[in-house]
Each structure stands twice: as structure tokens, then as C-alpha cells.
Amino acid sequence: MENRRLIYHGTGGELLLIFLKNFFLTIVTIGIYSFWARTNVQKYNAANLEWAAERFAFHGTGKERFIGFLKAFGLMILALLIFYIIQTLLLYIPIPYLAPIVGYLLFLGLFIGLLPFIIVGNRRYFSSRTSYRNLRFGFDGKSLEIAKIYMKGLSLTFLTLGIYYPWFFAEKETYLRSKTRYGNTHFGFDPDGKEIFFLYLKGIFLSIITLGIYAAWFIADIQNYIWNRTSFQGKKFQSDITGLRILGNFVLSYLIIIFTFGLGFSWAIVRMTKLFFETISLEAEVDFSSIEAQADLTASATSEGIEALANALESFLG
């Protein structure tokens, strides 16, 4: 039974030209071009990713991302106005520190409440804008369902001092991957929380006693586990990345960046991208004739705009 690996055809020189163009136009437009800049890189990466002699494609645009950011900005202004009105009214209540405490809790609740929307919205946007053999990917997850998973998972992870995280990770990834589809055919994911727990236990312990060196093997174990448990049409993906290759490529990439005074950054990115993509394969006997197109007309870049706005606020406040 034949297996075919992903192949990445990107080059450092081409990516460097894209980075330079993005950097210049982002500076000239005072940051506005950043929405197009990110899209340019994703279009390039998708167009240079191949499986079974066919290339992927990314159809997102900087314009829709910019509009999504403006919508998110409008929603944020509305939320701030509501918070301001609430805090102003609370000032008339003679309880010390009531207004700032309620304001802080409202902000915390807002960001926690937006997390499921951002996760689902981003997955839906990226998948709906990515295609292979002229068929789009898609994501059918719901914000309320992912919110329940995160609420349970984060609560139990906190209460168990982190011990529950592998089971939370397994449940979260199972939901996200099983709700992802190519055309009308969904992917599958079959993890085991107990196995992930021992992977994390081993990885964290050995990373500590080796002063971080074993982290490369830890990353390799996690990637291999995730992909080897992922399937499509009942056929399993395979990943055979090794910690030694990750460590060697990371050190070499670091040296390239240092000795080229940063100009080799794009070559370093290409080297690491090729490493992580080209160690993944899937059985070639995929029945494309049974896969039909299923468009997602509800996907938008608004959630990504909210995430970008939240990151900008975090950077400003931090």
C-alpha cells in the first residue's frame, strides 16, 4: 500500500522577497497592510505545499481580514461604552472598590467569552479559504460546544494542578479535528488521555533534567502521536519526525539567522517548515470520487479581527 508524503517547495529567497515587501508596505501604511502581509505568506505556503502531485491553495484576502478587524473594533468600542456606563452607575453605590472590581470582572468575562468564538471562527475561516483539487476544506464546530469543552477542561486542569490537561487536550483535539472536513468528508481523531499524560510526564521531566535539550524529542513525540491518530476515510496519517532532526534543524536555523545578521530568517523558516511538513504522509488510496463540495457561506474574518485586536491591546497594555 503506497504512502505519499507532503512536499514543501518554498525557497528562502522567494520568502525573503515577500517578507521585505510586507515589511515595507506595513511601515508605509502604518500597520494597515499587515492584513495583506499575513495573507501573502499563507498564499505562498499553500501554493508550495503538495500532496499526491497536487498543490494546495489559500483563497483568503487582506481586504476581508481588514473588514473583519473593523467590525471587531466596532464591537469592542460598543463593549467599552457599555462597561463605562455600568461603572459610572456603580460609582453611586457606596461600596468601596465596587466599580473597579466589577469592571475587571466584566473585562475578564468578555475575553473568556470571546475565546470559543475566536477558536471556532478562525478554524471556519482558514478551512473555508483553503482548497485542494478545487475542493474547499470546512469546519462545522459550534462556539457553545467548544465553550463547554474549554470550561470543563480548564476548570479540571486548574483544580488538579495541571494533571487533567492531557485529557482536556484529547477531548479538545478530538472535537476540533472531527469537525474539520475536506469537502463533505470529515477527518477522524482517536486519542487516549492516559497515553498523552505519560507523553507529557516523560517529556516535561526529561526536558527539565536535560536543561531543555529533550524538548525537541518531546515536540517530536507529540507531533507523531497527533498525526498517527488522525485519519481520513478510515486511512491513518503517519508522522516520523525525530527529536534529533528537530534539534539539528533548530540549531542550524539559529546559526543561519545569527551569521547572516537576520537576513537568513526566511531560509530558517523554510528549513523548519519543510521538516515538519515532509515527515507527514497519508495512504494514497483516497476515494476522491466520493467527496463532494460543501461550501461554508457563514465563514468570515471577524473572529480573526477580534483576535488581532485583543493581541494589540495586550501588547499595548503589556
Residue 170 has pLDDT above 60, yes or no: yes
Task: State the amino acid at position 281 in one-letter form.
Answer: S
- Which H helix or E strand runs over 237? strand 235-239
Going from the C-alpha of 40 to that of each of 71, 173, 213, 269, 272, the distances in angstroms are 22, 28, 34, 15, 19
Beta carbons within 8 Å of 20's beta carbon, 6+ residues apart:
none
Percentage of residues of the chain with pLDDT beyond 90:
63
Q: State the pLDDT confidence band at 163, using cuts at 50, 70 and 90.
A: very high
**201: pLDDT confidence band, cut at 50, 70 and 90?**
very high
Q: What order do you get walking across the sheet with 135-139 strand by strand? A: 3-5, 280-283, 235-239, 230-232, 185-189, 180-182, 135-139, 130-132, 54-58, 49-51, 7-8
Which residue type sits at 127? Answer: S
Residue 311 has pLDDT above 60, yes or no: no
Query: Does 238 have pLDDT greater than 90?
Result: yes
Give pLDDT, residue 314. Answer: 44
What does pLDDT average to over the chain?
Answer: 88
318 has a pLDDT exceeding 60: no
pLDDT bucket at 295, cuts 50 / 70 / 90: confident
Q: Look at residue 317 and tell me whether its pLDDT is greater than 50.
A: no
Lowest mean pLDDT among 50-54, 108-112, 139-143, 271-275: 108-112
